[in-house]
Structure 1
Amino acid sequence: MQPIRSVLAAAVVLALAGVAIAQTGYTPGPHNITLPSDWQQRFIRYATVDNASRKIIRHIYVNPEAFAAARPGQPLPDGTLIIMADTRARLGADGAPLLDQQGRFIPEPGWIAMGVQEKRAGWGVGYGPEKRNGEWEYARFNGDGTRSTASVEACFTCHLQTRAREDFAFNFWDYVQTRK
């Protein structure tokens, strides 16, 4: 009898969570994410990745609240906001990216695009198992910070197929696991 009560209690909790989400007006999609106007001043850059095939540099930032609350071995905290801001690499006459003294690409000024990933309690409801990435949503923005109309389907596909055990986040999850 006890297992039946546990199952019923769990069903009630899930149903109530669904009602709470419905009452907040959540509907799946990139419209849920807003690019903070102060992200460049306030967010923490924790990774920079040279992408040779695209001749770009990816600068990856996280909001300071998530940075402080993230713990190794734990899911990333509710409210985590990760921004991947791309710049073009400066190219030489031969079309190859120019390198600095450390062997890294030299960036051209200005952003060309931004991908944003945000986690909130209850997000993801409404996506089927072939798409749902836990409680994450994704959005794209142009280099000037305006919302891009480009599809975010590739974000879901890539994160779902490769990193479910790491809370659907690439570099920040890795960073949290190894930071001292």
Structure 2
Amino acid sequence: MNWYVLFVRTGREERVKQLFNKWFDSEDYKPFIPLQERLFKVAGTVKKELAPLFPSYVFIESNLPDLQFVTSTNSMIYTSSDIIRLLRYSKLEASMRNCERQVLESLCNDRYCIESSIGIIEGDKICIIDGPLKGRSSIVKKIDRHKRQAVIQLEFMGDIRLVNVALEIISKV
């Protein structure tokens, strides 16, 4: 399967996803919005909420090759005021590269959501003991214990992106 990425107006991700489902056959086009769990404390209790991992982007999973996908979606992309453009590496390469897709797939659950991870700090090193970041402390660039977040580095459509994901630090030794 190929993943294609649409750059859309902020806050219109769900609307574009619905539009794709309405216009196209669900067998060839499966739009989704990668999500992340966010942790926050309210009245002494830790709560979770879901938020887009990449705000302003909608992903489409499709078995169509690049040229066929671009040709079949072109008219919808240009007529929708919510879609800004289809991201591409070059004129001929529009689907997300396998190495980038595989990293995202390994971090996400089956609903395309990166769940929270749990870690401990030992001296100046972080050790992630549970969750999708387990064994991947090398991609963690920064930790904000107060906000219960880690900033991780991902390659996304040829660019390096810093993305916030949920990380609960349970102890510091």
Same fold (TM over 0.5): no
Higher helix content, 1 or 2: 1
Indicate the structure whose relative CO is greater, using CA pairs within 8 Å and at least 6 residues apart: 2
